[in-house]
Amino acid sequence: MTIEKFMSAAVKSAVKQLYGMDAADEQIQIQLTNKEFAGDYTLVVFPLLKISRKSPEATANEIGERLKSLHAEIKSYNAIKGFLNIKFTAEFWVQRLNAAVKNENFGLSHGKGKKLMIEYSSPNTNKPLHLGHIRNNLLGYAVANILEADGNDVVKVNLVNDRGVHICKSMLAWQKFGNGETPESSGKKGDHLVGEYYVRYDKEYKKQLAEIIATGIDENEAKSKVQIQLEVQEMLRKWEAQNPEIIALWKKMNSWVYDGFNKTYNDLGVSFDKIYYESQTYLLGKSLVYEGLKKGVFFRKDDGSVWVDLTTDGLDQKLLLRSDDTSVYITQDLGTAQQRVAEYNIDQMIYVVGNEQNYHFQVLKLILKKLGFDWANSIHHLSYGMVELPEGKMKSREGTVVDADDLIEEMISTAQKMSKQLGKLDKLNAEEENRVCRMVGLGALKYFILKVDPQKTMLFDPKESIDFNGNTGPFIQYTHARIKSVLHKANELQAQIPQTSACADINEKEISLIKLIDIFPETLASAAKEFSPSTIANYAYDIAKEYNQYYHEYQILREENEEIKLFRLMLSQKVADMIKKSMKLLGIDVPDRM
Q: What is the DSSP string of 229-261?
A: HHHHHHHHHHHHTT-HHHHHHHHHHHHHHHHHH
**Ranges of H-type helices in 269-357:** 278-295, 329-343
Residues 246, 247, 248, 250: what is their CA dihedral angle, to the nearest 10 degrees?
Answer: 90
Which CATH code is given to the segment(s) 3-88?
A: 3.30.1360.70
Q: What is the pTM of this model?
A: 0.92
Quote the CA–CA distance of 548 and 478 in Å, as a whole number: 10
Q: Please give the angle made by the CA atoms of 154, 536 and 571, to the nearest 5 degrees.
A: 115
Hey, how many other C-beta atoms are within 10 angstroms of the C-beta on 356? 10
320 three-class SS: strand
Q: What integer pLDDT is reported at residue 235 of this predicted model?
A: 96
The confidence score (pLDDT) of residue 462 equals 79
274 bridge partner residues:
157
Q: In what order do the strands lie in the sheet with 317-321?
A: 299-300, 306-309, 317-321
Q: At residue 382, what are phi and psi to the nearest 5 degrees?
A: -80, 90
Q: Does the fold of domain 120-388 match that of domain 3-88?
A: no
* Domain range annotation of the chain: 3-88, 120-388, 410-585
d(C-alpha 147, C-alpha 169), whole Å:
38
Do 422 and 456 form a contact (C-beta atoms < 8 A)? no
Do residues 118 and 143 lie in contact, with contact meaning Cβ atoms separated by under 8 Å? yes
Q: Where are the beta strands (DSSP E) in 131-183?
A: 153-160
| HEC profile of 497-525 | CCCCCCCCCCCHHHHHHHHHHHCHHHHHH
Question: Does the domain formed by 410-585 have CATH 1.10.730.10?
Answer: yes
Q: Residue 340 class from Cβ within 10 Å (0-12 exposed, 13-18 middle, 19+ buried)?
A: buried
| 505 phi and psi angles, rounded to 5 deg | -90, 75
Name every residue whose Cβ is closer than 8 Å to that of residue 555 and which is 6 or more positions away in sequence: none
In this predicted structure, what is the pLDDT of residue 307?
Answer: 97
CA gap 371, 224 in Å, rounded? 34
d(CA 415, CA 420): 8
**Mind giving me the DSSP string for 2-68?**
-HHHHHHHHHHHHHHHHHSSPPPGGG-EEEEPPTTSS-SEEEE-GGGHHHH-S-HHHHHHHHHHHHH
Q: What is the DSSP string of 419-448?
A: HHHTTTTTT--HHHHHHHHHHHHHHHHHHH
Tell how far CA 85 is from the center of its chain. 35
Identify the pLDDT of residue 394. 42
24 backbone φψ class: left, alpha, beta (φ>0; ψ -120 to 50): beta
Q: Enter the DSSP assignment of 465.
A: H
174-197 burial: b if 16+ Cβ within 10 Å, else e: beeebeeeebeeeebbbbbbbbbb
List of E strands, 337-431: 348-354, 379-384, 387-388
Q: Is the distance from CB of 156 to CB of 390 less than 8 angstroms?
A: no
Handedness of CA 130, 135, 137, 138 (dihedral sign): positive
Enumerate the β-bridge partners of residue 30: 43
Quote the CA–CA distance of 564 and 585 in Å, as a whole number. Answer: 32
Pairing assessment for the beta strands 348-354 and 379-384 based on DSSP bridges: parallel
User: How far is 143 from 361, CA to CA, in rounded Å?
Assistant: 19
Per-residue model confidence (pLDDT) at position 391: 62
pLDDT at 400: 53
Give the chain's length.
594
What contacts 9, CB < 8 A, 6 or more positions away?
none
Dmax (CA) for the chain in angstroms is 93
Looking at domain 120-388, does it have CATH number 3.40.50.620? Answer: yes
Predicted pLDDT of residue 395: 46
Q: Which of 20, 22, 311 is nearest to 9 (CA)?
A: 22
**Cβ-proximal residues to 365 (8 Å cutoff; 6+ apart), any chain:** 376, 377, 379
- Describe the crossing of helices 404-421 and 430-450 by its angle, rounded to 10 degrees: 120
Give the C-alpha distances (Å, rounded to integers) separating 416 from 32, 276, 421, 434: 40, 37, 9, 8
Q: Are strands 29-32 and 387-388 parallel, antiparallel or unpaired?
A: unpaired
How distant, in Å, are the alpha carbons of 143, 485, 541, 577 from that of 480?
23, 9, 11, 9
Q: Contact, 238 vs 163, CB < 8 A?
A: no
Q: In what order do the strands lie in the sheet with 83-88?
A: 29-32, 41-44, 83-88, 74-80
**pLDDT tens over the chain, length 594 residues:** 789 999 999 999 999 999 999 999 999 999 999 988 999 999 999 999 999 999 999 999 999 999 999 999 999 999 998 999 999 999 999 999 999 999 989 988 876 779 999 999 999 999 999 988 999 999 999 999 999 999 999 999 999 999 989 999 999 999 999 999 999 999 999 999 999 999 999 999 999 999 999 999 999 999 999 999 999 999 999 998 999 999 999 999 999 999 999 999 999 999 999 999 999 998 999 999 999 999 999 999 999 999 999 999 999 999 999 998 888 889 999 999 999 999 998 999 999 999 999 999 999 999 999 999 999 999 999 999 988 776 654 444 444 568 899 889 999 998 888 888 888 888 888 898 899 999 999 999 999 999 999 999 888 887 788 888 899 999 999 999 999 999 999 999 999 999 999 998 999 999 999 999 999 999 999 999 999 999 999 999 999 999 999 999 999 999 999 999 999 999 999 999 999 999 999 999 999 988
First to last CA, the chain: 37
